[in-house]
Amino acid sequence: MIRTLIAAAVTMVGVGALIGWHDNLHLLAGGLAVAVAVGIAVVIRALRARQASALEEDIEDTGVATTSGPLREVVLGLALGGVGLGLTALIYRLALPPFYPLLVGDCPQLLPRLAIYEETQAWPRAVALIDARLAQPLDAGCQGELAERRCRYLIEWSKTVPPDQAAQKLQEAERWAEAHQLASYRTIAELMRAQLTPTPAPQVLTPTPQPSPTARPLPPGASVWVTGVDTSYHPPTVFVYLRVADANGQPVDDLTAHDVSVTDDGRPVAAISLAQFSQGPAPVCATLVIDCSGSMEGAPLEAAHAGASTFLGLLSPRDQVEIIAFSDQARVLRARTADKRAAMQALDLLSAQGQTAIW
């Protein structure tokens, strides 16, 4: 039995060290796997002992001698170590993720630091912090939140550096947005990078003038609405959102930049880029952070519950929501989910107690 356990332990430690299972979560998974493997070994030992007693009686009757080979125990230990490694991998991938918020922290512990970096525009530190956190195990909701923030921080970072570095940051943001399916951020980064393209130096030879493209008239009965103006990326870019529809209310989707003219204080704007966005609204990923300290007891907490319930009722099936309660500490009542019924059940867990933590 001792040889078997030693061989199993050596196998698990040796193979685990070779494949890089050095972090705390792998060690925890390995410890749980060892406990399970020892239990299996004890059961096998008991079964073998019961069988051995029966065999000894038969062997005594026949007069045949028996030997218990150490090699057999070592081979059994190697097999048990392999089982332990398999259990470690299964526990790490399947059993531990639901407990990541307790084992390795979650977004509520990280977002206050990121808020400080946003306030001070310390974009390099914010991106470095997110990169370090994404390299560790995370639940899916927090991972999506950090991926979106990293792309946005790269775009903001590009506004504070020279044009050549800004182009690199925007290109990195494009690749990141494409890898994490952040279509709107990718479009913003592409348009901003296009604005950074330097104007070619004038040529000595005057080229033959070409006729300027003529803007096509809209179909009869067509209409144009300005649905929004976003100046958060100015300078150098201002985003103007238009809705162009024909007489039947169908979108006109074959427009080019030459079909649109823009003036700024009466002066024409030459550098215009045009991109088509989806007609449907983008899904919302919201986090409801609700104060559940003792001061919220009674009517205040009931009002917060009612407001949160109303908000959940307005969400579409594609929207996602996360419920966080805080008093003297933050608690994730429901990780990001599109299941509105589960989110409503999380609201029922709200109770007023404790003090309000000040960060």
Quick one: CA dihedral 70, 73, 77, 78, positive or negative?
Answer: positive
Report the amino acid identity of residue 183.
A
pTM reported for the whole predicted model = 0.38
Whole-number Cα distances in Å, 75 to 5, 7, 47, 167: 11, 8, 18, 60
What CA–CA distance (Å, rounded) separates 331 from 318?
25
Domain boundaries, the chain: 2-97, 106-195, 223-268, 285-347
- Count CB neighbours of 320 within 10 A: 19
Q: pLDDT tens digits, the chain, 359 residues: what are they?
A: 677 778 778 888 888 888 877 766 677 778 888 888 778 777 877 887 777 666 555 545 554 444 456 777 788 778 878 888 888 888 777 776 666 555 555 566 677 778 878 877 889 988 998 898 888 776 677 788 888 999 999 999 998 888 888 889 999 999 999 998 888 888 888 888 888 765 555 555 555 555 555 667 777 778 887 877 777 766 667 888 878 888 777 777 777 877 778 888 888 887 777 777 655 556 788 899 998 888 888 888 888 888 888 888 888 888 899 998 888 888 888 888 888 888 888 888 888 887 776 55
Cβ contacts of 121 within 8 Å, gap of 6 or more? 156, 160
